[in-house]
């Protein structure tokens, strides 16, 4: 079955660039979405169709997808960006989420 693999954790210093990867077989042929979930809150869509930002999402969030790996990049990371990030894609009309990456800003 199709699986998406994310690193369990990523740490970044404030103001630096954070990169969170998501790997899956031929993932570059699929569109990837990314969701941010802060502690105790519901997930929020931050990137869809690999690199598009919904209204209200800061420009520091960007995404790319090629080969077997999609990447969420947060430029100039702020303390408010701390939380769990999930990638998501579709395989044969079945929704699949990555296991999630805990982003720590320290």
Partner 1 sequence: QVQLQESGPGLVKTSETLSLTCTVSGGSMSYYYWSWIRQPPGKGLEWLGHIYYSGSTNYNPSLKSRVTLSVDTSKNQIALNLTSVTAADTAVYYCARTREGYNWSTGSYWYFELWGRGALVSVSS
33 near partner 1, judged by CB under 8 A: yes
For the bound state, the minimum distance from the C-beta of residue 102 to partner 1, rounded and expressed in Å, comes to 11
Which of 19, 21, 13 shows the shortest CA–CA distance to 105?
Answer: 13
Q: Which residues contact 66 (CB under 8 A, 6 or more apart)?
A: 28
Site for partner 1 in 77-96 (CB under 8 A): 86, 88-90, 93-96
Strands 83-91 and 94-97, by their bridges, are antiparallel
Beta strands in 1-106 (DSSP E): 9-12, 18-23, 33-37, 44-47, 61-66, 69-74, 83-91, 94-97, 101-105
100 near partner 1, judged by CB under 8 A: yes
66 near partner 1, judged by CB under 8 A: no
29 near partner 1, judged by CB under 8 A: yes
Among 49, 66, 78, 104, binds partner 1 (CB under 8 A): 49
Binding site for partner 1 (CB under 8 A): 29-31, 33, 35, 42-45, 48-49, 54, 86, 88-90, 93-100
């Amino acid at each position: 079955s199709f699986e998406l693999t994310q690193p369990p954790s990523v740490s970044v210093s404030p103001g630096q660039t954070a990169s969170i990867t998501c790997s899956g077989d031929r993932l570059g042929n699929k569109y990837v979405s990314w969701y941010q979930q802060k502690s105790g809150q519901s997930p929020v869509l931050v990137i869809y169709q690999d690199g598009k930002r919904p209204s209200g999402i800061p420009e520091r969030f960007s995404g790319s997808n090629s080969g077997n790996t999609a990447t969420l990049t947060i430029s100039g990371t702020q303390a408010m960006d701390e939380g769990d990030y999930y990638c998501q894609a579709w395989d044969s009309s079945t929704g699949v989420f990555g296991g999630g990456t805990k982003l720590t800003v320290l």
